Amino acid sequence: MLRIRRDLVDAIIAHARRDHPDEACGVIAGPDGSDRPERFIPMLNAARSPTFYEFDSADLLKLYREMDANDEVPVVIYHSHTATEAYPSRTDVSYASEPYAHYVLVSTRDEVDEFRSFRIVEGEISEEQVEVVAEYTSSAQTFSE
């Protein structure tokens, strides 16, 4: 299950709406080993496409160096779908390289935003529940798989 603060959900949806009709993408980093999304990092869709997203390689390298320096990992990797449901495409699955990340998809095709989370490991997609909270009640939330 993905437990995520309301302000982070709102930030993802706002980014997706702002970049529409192109797909939006980004990361929410969190403390290594915590499975707790904390730091919202919107990224530029280098593809600037309504049907595809791509992180700029230089931006991605900078992000991973920054996360390493802060003892963070990508807890959530998100992007939007502008004309289809919020479900990973074959391309999304082929690019999913973080086995412990929550892959969040937002669909901006309708007035009501569809917000869903998945685990993608070795090409297998598993949808998971999303619990939206006002704040995290325990600083001891740890990753367990």
- Give the domain ranges of the chain: 2-133
pLDDT of 144 over the 70 cut: no
> In whole angstroms, what is the distance from residue 37 CA to residue 50 CA?
26
Average pLDDT score over residue span 14-31: 97
- Yes or no: say if 108 and 17 are a contact pair by the CB < 8 Å rule: yes
Q: Are 121 and 103 in contact (CB under 8 A)?
A: no
Residue with tokens 């502008």, as numbered in its chain: 82
pLDDT digits (tens, 9 = 90+) for 57-68: 999 999 999 999
Residue 5 makes CB contacts below 8 A (sequence gap 6+) with 37, 132, 133, 134, 135, 136
Rounded CA separation 16/120 (Å): 21
What is the percentage of the chain residues whose pLDDT exceeds 70?
94
0.85 surpassed by pTM? yes
Query: What number is the average pLDDT over the span 87-114?
Result: 94
Sign of CA dihedral 1, 41, 34, 68: positive
CATH of 2-133, one of 3.40.309.10, 1.10.287.110, 3.40.140.10, 3.20.20.10: 3.40.140.10
The widest CA-to-CA distance across the chain, in whole angstroms, is 39
